[in-house]
Amino acid sequence: MDHAAATHPLILHYPTSVPHCGALGQEVVAVESGWVRVRQPYAEHLLGDIERGWIHTSVQLTLVDSAFGAAVLSAFDTPEPIATLDLRMDYHRPAVAGQDLFVDARVERVAAQIVFVSGTVWQERPERPTAVARAAFMRVAHGKAVVGQEQGQ
Amino acid sequence: MNQACFAAGLQRMPYARYLGISYAEESGIFTLGFRPDLVGNPRLPAVHGGALGGFMESVALLYLGGTETLGRVPKPVDFSIDFLRSAAARDSFARCEVLRQGRRVAQAQVQCWQQDASVLIAVGRGHFILEEPAPQARQA
């Protein structure tokens, strides 16, 4: 990550502009136009199965929802409000205790009213995802109807 | 599902405890109590979509784990959420329904609302593995 990337507004303001992400300790570690990598540091309270030592899949879901929103914002020249229409998670393998989670989120298509995003959650390396995800966002200011879960500006 | 099964499920699932999910046996309704650190957008303010999605997925896991007397947490295969309305800064409620219960896999769906149970703010659906394959069939 170069200096310019480190001072990107998404990296600087992410934890404070999205309180839940700040509470979980999530941080944007890299940004390009239409692409972000977000880190979720490991913590014991993120486990979903203490007997098998697995991180909760819902932690991955939350990480994906946040990172996808950030990826959409990174694709815009000027900030605009967005709302998540739907989100799908496929859990390929368990995320194990003791290791951080990363998500790489990529904007697939910016259409007039909708933005399509896909991404992978991983621990050791991106080629070995714990989850693969896909979502559609509505560009709220570009349509009359406001539905769904509005996110940051 | 009785309260003891819910408590046992919660014990195995620290993240569901962190979210603060509670359950009422008489109604079968799960609650995500509002907290400022669950907010995703401070300007509205609105509950974070991921926190809401995590609540709904956890409800499916707790419900399936509690009614199946598995003695462990079901393993999610996939989970999809449709966000229908913005989640305001107040308590959210959910109930789970199992549409298909196989021996190894169950399909469950979750409805989520806030003030009015007939005005849904989100729906979720997913598949969950209830039973591990035999050791010789298991892959790394």
ipTM of the complex: 0.91
Whether the predicted pLDDT of A104 surpasses 80: yes
Kindly state the average pLDDT of the residues A82-109: 97
> Tens digit of pLDDT for each residue in B24-58?
999 999 999 999 888 888 788 889 999 999 999 99
Contact A119, A106 (CB under 8 A): yes
- Minimal Cα–Cα distance from A14 to chain B, Å? 11
Q: At what angle do helices A57-75 and A9-17 cross, to 10 degrees?
A: 130
Give the residue-averaged pLDDT of A35-62: 96
Distance CA A74, CA A17 (A): 15
Rg (CA), chain A: 15
Give chain B positions within 8 Å (CB) of A20.
37-40, 48, 50-51
Answer whether residue A125 shows pLDDT above 60.
Answer: yes
pLDDT band at A2 (very low <50, low <70, confident <90, very high): very low
- Cross-chain Cβ contact A56/B58 below 8 Å: yes
* pLDDT over threshold 90, residue A9: no
Show pLDDT as tens, one digit a residue, over chain B (140 residues): 889 999 999 999 999 999 999 999 999 999 999 998 888 887 888 899 999 999 999 999 999 988 756 667 899 999 999 999 999 999 999 999 999 988 889 999 999 999 999 999 999 999 999 876 666 655 54
Q: Is the pLDDT of residue A95 over 90?
A: yes
CB pairs under 8 A between A and B: 152
Which residue from A45, A51, A151 is facing B41, i.e. has the nearest CB?
A: A151
Which chain B residues are closer than 8 Å to A19 by Cβ? 36-40, 42, 48
Return the residue in B47, B78, B125 with the most chain A beta carbons within 10 A, the one to mutate for interface testing: B78
Task: Find the residue in A nearest to B139 (Cα).
Answer: A93
The DSSP-derived string for A93-139 is SPPBTTS-EEEEEEEEEE-SSEEEEEEEEESS-TTSEEEEEEEEEEE
In chain B, the residue whose alpha carbon lies closest to the alpha carbon of A14 is: B40
